[in-house]
Chains A and B, each alone.
Chain A
Amino acid sequence: AQSVTQLDSHVSVSEGTPVLLRCNYSSSYSPSLFWYVQHPNKGLQLLLKYTSAATLVKGINGFEAEFKKSETSFHLTKPSAHMSDAAEYFCVVRDYNNNDMRFGAGTRLTVKP
């Protein structure tokens, strides 16, 4: 069965500095991988997804993630953090063999002025 590990429960950056949110996964089959963002008291919103096409995926709001099969990683990055990026971020893996979707525990991003 697939699983996903978000390596940091909390990341704090200063506005204008780069963001790195780390995600490692395990999957028996070619996975699809997603990053979702959740702002306080809101539902989840898709940032980007990888579905076996280009390994570097660009998403909304300047975020991107790179699928690295050799490292079983799908880290989320952004060159310059904005105050509005402060939220909870979830890495998600899906095995297409069983359509089971697994969410990571989440990383809370804090952006300091």
Chain B
Amino acid sequence: DAGVIQSPRHEVTEMGQEVTLRCKPISGHDYLFWYRQTMMRGLELLIYFNNNVPIDDSGMPEDRFSAKMPNASFSTLKIQPSEPRDSAVYFCASSLGLGGPADTQYFGPGTRLTVL
């Protein structure tokens, strides 16, 4: 398996523009997670899905952020409009399950977002 795939790897945009980050989880994994990593706040869980259904979006910073998972092999994280403070590395991760041996999250390489 190719692992978790994220695109783009780098994104530079201007304030106010819409940004869409993409993730393809490992085939067969039922859980998908979106994280944000910054120097100031470290790693933060934004939202996670189980079988394509959002379970917990309490980490989504505000209404400008939205995430979807239209099918088991694809998820998007959208920021509209983007702001400079959204600059961060965004990671997607997937796992077979929660708890026990299945509770191992596999991370993608991340998307480095810069909002000017």
A residues with a Cβ closer than 8 A to B are: 32, 36, 41-46, 49, 51, 90, 94, 96, 99-101, 103-106
Contact = CB atoms under 8 A, between A and B. Distances in A.
A101 B45 contact: yes
B98 A42 contact: no
Contacts of A96: 98-99
Given A99-B56, A103-B43, A105-B42, A43 B103 contact: no
Contacts, number: 46
Contacts of A43: 4, 91, 93, 107-110
Contact of B43 (A42, A49, A90): A90
Contacts of B99: 32, 51, 96
Nearest to A6: B42
Contacts of A44: 43, 91, 93, 105, 107
Nearest to B92: A43
A41 B9 CA distance: 10
A7 to B, nearest CB: 15
B70 interface: no
B116 to A, nearest CB: 21
B100 interface: yes
B43 A45 contact: no
Contacts of B105: 44, 46
Contacts of B109: 41-43
7 contacts: A43-B107, A43-B109, A44-B93, A49-B103, A96-B98, A99-B56, A105-B42
A74 to B, nearest CB: 15
Contacts of B100: 51
A36 B44 CA distance: 14
